[in-house]
Amino acid sequence: MSQAPETAGTEETVETRGDERIELLRADTNNDGRTDVWVVDTDGDGKADLFQFDTDGDGKVDVTMVDIDEDGQPDEIVDGDGGLPPEQLPPTIQV
Ligand SMILES: [Ca+2]
Ligand SMILES: [Ca+2]
Ligand SMILES: [Ca+2]
């Protein structure tokens, strides 16, 4: 099997501080009804260390940023969801 690295596909898996996905914030910044920003804590310390953005409005993550040391500056930026797709919310929630 020989495969050039640049044709290995666009799916990258990013390293995060933990394996959890605690969503601190979801935001719909362009008001199209779909979430386009996800702020996530992966290690349970209550601080955000994973940020995901949907830049083209299709509901799927296009850019993922990881702040591995939680200093507020992203340390790794990858295309796509970085192997961490957001949980789809049910279309309607009945209370
Ligand atoms: Ca954290
Ligand atoms: Ca998208
Ligand atoms: Ca950082």
For the cut 60, the answer to whether the pLDDT of residue 3 exceeds it is: no
Ligand that lies nearest to the alpha carbon of residue 49, given by its number in the listed order:
1
Q: Distance, CA 49 to ligand 1 centroid (Å)?
A: 5
Q: Distance, CA 4 to ligand 1 centroid (Å)?
A: 35
Alpha-carbon gap, residue 34 to 11, rounded angstroms: 22
Ligand that lies nearest to the alpha carbon of residue 24, given by its number in the listed order:
1
- What pLDDT is attached to residue 87? 87
How many angstroms separate the Cα of 82 from the Cα of each of 5, 29, 37?
Answer: 17, 21, 14
List the chain domain ranges.
Answer: 21-83
- The tens digit of pLDDT for each residue in 36-88 reads 999 999 999 999 999 999 999 998 999 999 999 999 999 999 999 999 999 88
